[in-house]
Amino acid sequence: MATAIIQIPFQEELLLQIDRFVENNTVSSREDLIRTATEMYIRCKWNWKNIFSYGEQLALNNNLSEDDVMNEIKANRRCK
């Protein structure tokens, strides 16, 4: 896989936090932390997008409104 080098400005305080994290954890470098964090962020955003799309499709297929969903959540919580 081809790689590219980019420059991103960071506030000094954030860089200090990154460096402290690298020192105290199993991350080997700033680059490794930023790369891993970026991958996790993208994966998380895609997962949430897919979850909401799935929920919207279910609601559409079952003719459910937001109120119907909220009522089901409340009913489920009362049972616990």
Tokens 């499709």 — which residue? 57
pTM above 0.85, yes or no: no
Going from the first residue of the chain to its last (80 residues), give the mean pLDDT of each consecutive group of 10, the final group possibly shorter: 92 96 93 96 98 93 92 89
Neighbour-count burial for 43-56, b at 16+ CB within 10 Å, e otherwise: eeeeeeeeeeeeee
What is the distance between the alpha carbons of residues 69 and 31, in angstroms, rounded to a whole number? 43
What is the distance between the alpha carbons of residues 76 and 43, in angstroms, rounded to a whole number? 29
